[in-house]
């Protein structure tokens, strides 16, 4: 099932699990940073199809997955019927009971209203609770975005107004956290060139899964031609030895509610 929300992004859970499973696989390190403990109450914000929610639950923690997408939630509930998944918008959510920790992998950069997200997370935590997250940092997927921008500009389309992502620097995001009353105990902004699967068509999996908002107003024929051009422009940087690897730069943070 495919679903459109707000910024024009469609979350197709089948394509996500089938062709983009690297997202949750590479997010396992963020669970290590979380260090979930048996009996803790943990919220997985932007849980997607639930693979890391399950990983957290394996520690014995009581975890709830929250997501905005019906398609992703439906898949998560099918895969992990023993876990709790709720529909919610991370930019404006409240919780009945506070959590010991809020976790998030690969989701916060889809939420442009970051200040509201940080406020909601802060309110959702107990005092001393932790917020552990990884998402796209400054300059994330920049080579891909520049190529998309160039190709859309050739057709008179302004990509900046369609860009769905928020990729802050460590300084920017740490300031946001500190302003809200968090103490940042860990922050890392690192290069993570990310291999795509299926060789020659790998970049298309990424474009189809994540870059939809840029192409929401163009015809399928235009999009197909644009994909060809984007491949041509990025090939020298992102294609090597039969495989595509997208220029990810991640921000990983751990912050404690004061």
Ligand X SMILES: C[S@@+](CC[C@H](N)C(=O)[O-])C[C@H]1O[C@@H](n2cnc3c(N)ncnc32)[C@H](O)[C@@H]1O
User: Which range in 66-74, 138-146, 167-175, 222-230 contacts ligand X by CB under 6 A?
Assistant: 66-74
Indicate whether 68 belongs to the interface with ligand X (CB under 6 A): yes
Q: Using CA atoms, how far apart are residues 217 and 223, in angstroms rounded to an integer?
A: 10
Residue 151 engages ligand X in binding (rule: CB under 6 A)? no
Among residues 83, 111, 120, 238, the one that binds ligand X under rule CB under 6 A? 111
With contacts defined by CB under 6 A, name the span among 87-95, 136-144, 153-161, 177-185 that binds ligand X. Answer: 87-95
Interface with ligand X includes 106 (CB under 6 A)? yes
Annotate the chain with three-state secondary structure: CCCEECCCEECCHHHHHHHCCHHHHHCHHHHHHHCCCCCCEEEEECCCCCHHHHHHHCCCCEEEEEECCHHHHHHHHHHCCCCEEEECCCCCCCCCCCEEEEEEECCHHHCCCHHHHHHHHHHHEEEEEEEEEEEECCCCCHHHHHHHHHHHHHCCCCHHHCCCCCCCCHHHHHHHHHHHCEEEEEEEEEEEEEECCCHHHHHHHHHHHHCHHHHCCCCHHHHHHHHHHHHHHHHHHHEECCEEEEEEEEEEEEEEEC
Among 80, 85, 110, 206, binds ligand X (CB under 6 A): 110
Q: Is the Cβ of residue 67 or residue 100 nearer to ligand X in the bound state?
A: 67
Q: CB 97 → ligand X: shortest distance, Å?
A: 19
Using the minimum distance from each CB to ligand X, give the nearer residue, 45 or 238.
45
Q: Per rule CB under 6 A, is residue 166 in the interface with ligand X?
A: no
Cβ atoms of 182 and 125 closer than 8 Å: no
Among 27, 164, 202, 212, binds ligand X (CB under 6 A): 27
Q: Can residue 114 be called a binding residue for ligand X (CB under 6 A)?
A: no
Q: How far is the CB of 138 from ligand X (least distance, A)?
A: 18
| 48 counts as binding ligand X under rule CB under 6 A | yes
What is the sign of the dihedral through the CA atoms of 31, 35, 38 and 41?
negative
Q: Which stretch binds ligand X (CB under 6 A): 68-76, 176-184, 189-197, 212-220?
A: 68-76
121 binds ligand X (CB under 6 A): no
Single residue of 34, 52, 61, 83 touching ligand X by CB under 6 A: 52
Instruction: Give the interface with ligand X as residue ranges (CB under 6 A).
Output: 11, 23-24, 27, 46-48, 51-52, 67-69, 72, 89-91, 105-107, 110-111
């Amino acid at each position: 099932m495919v679903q459109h929300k707000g910024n024009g992004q469609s979350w197709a859970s089948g394509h996500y699990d089938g062709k983009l499973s690297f997202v949750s696989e590479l997010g396992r390190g963020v669970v290590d940073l979380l260090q979930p403990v048996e009996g803790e109450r943990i919220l997985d914000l932007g849980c997607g199809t639930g693979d890391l929610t399950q990983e957290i639950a394996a520690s014995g923690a009581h975890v709830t997955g929250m997501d905005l997408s019906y398609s992703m939630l439906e898949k998560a509930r099918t895969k992990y019927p023993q876990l709790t998944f709720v529909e919610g918008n991370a930019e404006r959510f409240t919780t009945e009971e506070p959590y010991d920790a809020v976790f998030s992998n690969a989701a916060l950069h889809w939420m442009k209203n970051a200040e509201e997200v940080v406020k909601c997370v802060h309110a959702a935590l107990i005092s001393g609770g932790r917020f552990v997250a990884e998402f796209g940092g400054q300059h994330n997927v920049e080579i891909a975005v520049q190529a998309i921008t160039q190709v859309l500009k050739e057709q008179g389309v302004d990509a900046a107004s369609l860009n769905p992502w928020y990729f802050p620097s460590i300084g920017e995001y740490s300031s946001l956290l500190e302003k809200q009353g968090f103490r940042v105990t860990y922050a890392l902004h690192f290069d993570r060139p990310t291999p795509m699967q299926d060789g020659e068509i790998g970049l298309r999996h990424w474009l189809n899964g994540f870059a939809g908002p840029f192409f929401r107003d163009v015809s399928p024929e235009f999009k197909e031609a644009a994909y060809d051009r984007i491949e041509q422009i990025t090939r020298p940087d992102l294609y090597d030895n039969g495989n595509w690897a997208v220029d990810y730069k991640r921000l990983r943070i751990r912050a404690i509610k004061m």
